[in-house]
Amino acid sequence: MDLYSMTIHELHQLLVKKEITSRELTEALYQRIKEVDAKIGAYLMLTEEEAMRMAQEVDQKISKGEEIGDVAGIPLGLKDILCTHGIRTTCGSRILENYVPFYDGTVVKKLKEKQAVMLGKLNMDEFAMGSSTENSGFQFTRNPWDLERIPGGSSGGSAAAVAADECIAALGSDTGGSIRQPASCCGVVGMKPTYGRVSRYGLVAFASSLDQIGPITKDVEDCAILMNAISGYDPSDSTSVNVEVPDYRHFLKRDVKAIRIGIPKEYFIEGMDPDVERSVKEAVDLFKTWGAEIKEISLPHTEYAVAVYYILCTAEASSNLARYDGVKYGLRSKEYRDLMEMYTQTRAKGFGKEVKRRIILGTYVLSAGYYEAYYRKASQVRTLMRMDFENAFREADVIMVPTAPTPAFRIGEKVENPLQMYLSDIFTIPVNLAGIPGLSIPCGFSHENLPIGLQIMGRHFDEGMLLRVAYTFEQNTNFHLKKPPGIA
């Protein structure tokens, strides 16, 4: 088996046994990137010198007989929304094309302390606004399963890189489904942790009450390993919650007997792709045969999720992106006669179409006379949605739904129809609005051989239960073992 196609836990064993070195592994990954990334377009930049230095350090540690952690010497990719000291962080936007942070985000710092090897920064929708990675200011990323299709978004570069074996695992961010939806499109595992479980310090803000960092991996065990590495309280993040972090690997049991699985009737809707509906229902039937209790539940305010989300996230985006004005850092237009023109020219040139659309929407819903009608009303409905989940979790231990209503669609198919594009996240958005954890795992394939994702939702800080349920499914099926045929 090629080194680049293996998992974190498999490679850790080989490193510990001295059957391979981290340097060999890192070189194998860079060779793989050179072979396939021209087709995929997952990476915005590579950090080869830094990566080789870290691999060398890990190899020296192993040769001295010192113990290494689970992610030490393992080559990972980072979504280009995470601040990296001395390395460009663009957020997929021309306005930050030459921005070099002077600090590491907390998750980056944690991975460096654990001696993970950072391969480079991965492509994304500009400022994480999008469901297809077509909104990047720099390049298209293509789905390894079909190069004419999108990889999902906004963490499309991260999901495509993991699926194409261009990194062993990656980090993404999720504001309305931006880890889970691309994981579903690319046939990999993606988790959005509970809001407050993973520090957002050093994550460039899109919508601060919704954003969360999480892992994209080849299997559930790797997801647990990365969750161990990045979770925990951080005083630098005012939204970080000081609750104990368990060892997530302890939850990896092949057992769902008597676990109550809720199936919300509001999620199986008209317009859902028949292959998605079939795959998800077949997955639910499997859980029933393994001893889980399947119950129909109701999340009555689901129909308002997309509307509520696009009021709240655009309002927060309008506020967060006001700082990109050509004064402090980032792009500054050279064509202006006065201060106001400098602002407008800088923002007009620096931001893409989708980001401008959301800033305009967000500014509108926060403006005098409209705040009460839109933003405040959306905040109230958000509370009702959170209460829906609280009530549902009295009857169920986890909730199971499709991750996305369709498999990956064709590049360009929805670019001119923003509403159709926004509906790509219809099943993932409620998780962010409620602040609960959600996990997507591969559960089947469409008639065109495109991956389909099963989404599992859980109570606040109950990521362990999601991992247990997902691990049981994964160990009894082989969907996660299939590789994209075109670039194998």
Per-residue confidence (pLDDT) for residue 245, from 0 to 100: 98
The mean predicted confidence, pLDDT, of the chain is 97
Q: Determine the average pLDDT of the residues in 431-455.
A: 98
Burial class from Cβ neighbours inside 10 Å (0-12, 13-18, 19+) for residue 394 reads: exposed
At 30-40, the pLDDT tens digits run: 999 999 999 99
Q: Is the pLDDT of residue 392 over 80?
A: yes
Q: Out of 200-214, 264-278, 313-327, 438-452, which region has the weakest mean confidence (pLDDT)?
A: 264-278
pLDDT band at 447 (very low <50, low <70, confident <90, very high): very high
Domain ranges for the chain:
3-259+396-487, 303-378
Q: Token digits for 185?
A: 């499109």
Q: Determine the average pLDDT of the residues in 278-295.
A: 98
Per-residue confidence (pLDDT) for residue 126, from 0 to 100: 98
Per-residue confidence (pLDDT) for residue 58, from 0 to 100: 98
Per-residue confidence (pLDDT) for residue 32, from 0 to 100: 98
At 337-388, the pLDDT tens digits run: 999 999 999 999 999 999 999 999 999 999 989 999 999 999 999 999 999 9
Q: Determine the average pLDDT of the residues in 68-88.
A: 98
Report the phi/psi class of residue 9: left, alpha or beta, with left for phi > 0 and alpha for psi in -120 to 50: alpha
Question: Is 3-259+396-487 CATH 3.90.1300.10?
Answer: yes
Q: Is the pLDDT of residue 488 over 90?
A: no
pLDDT band at 487 (very low <50, low <70, confident <90, very high): confident
At 108-128, the pLDDT tens digits run: 999 999 999 999 999 999 999
Q: Determine the average pLDDT of the residues in 153-164.
A: 98
Per-residue confidence (pLDDT) for residue 1, from 0 to 100: 84
Name the DSSP class of 47: -
Asked if 303 and 293 touch (Cβ cutoff 8 Å), the reply is: no
Helix (H, G, I), strand (E, B) or coil at 145: coil
Q: Determine the average pLDDT of the residues in 386-398.
A: 98
Per-residue confidence (pLDDT) for residue 270, from 0 to 100: 76
Per-residue confidence (pLDDT) for residue 139, from 0 to 100: 98
Enumerate residues 6+ apart whose C-beta is below 8 A from 469.
Answer: 256, 259, 261, 287, 398, 456
Per-residue confidence (pLDDT) for residue 423, from 0 to 100: 87
At 2-37, the pLDDT tens digits run: 999 999 999 999 999 999 999 999 999 999 999 999
Asked if 383 and 166 touch (Cβ cutoff 8 Å), the reply is: no
- The CA distance from 87 to 95, in Å, is 16
Q: Determine the average pLDDT of the residues in 402-412.
A: 97
Asked if 461 and 243 touch (Cβ cutoff 8 Å), the reply is: yes
pLDDT band at 420 (very low <50, low <70, confident <90, very high): confident
Per-residue confidence (pLDDT) for residue 434, from 0 to 100: 98
At 95-108, the pLDDT tens digits run: 999 999 999 999 99
* Residues assigned a catalytic role: 79, 154, 178
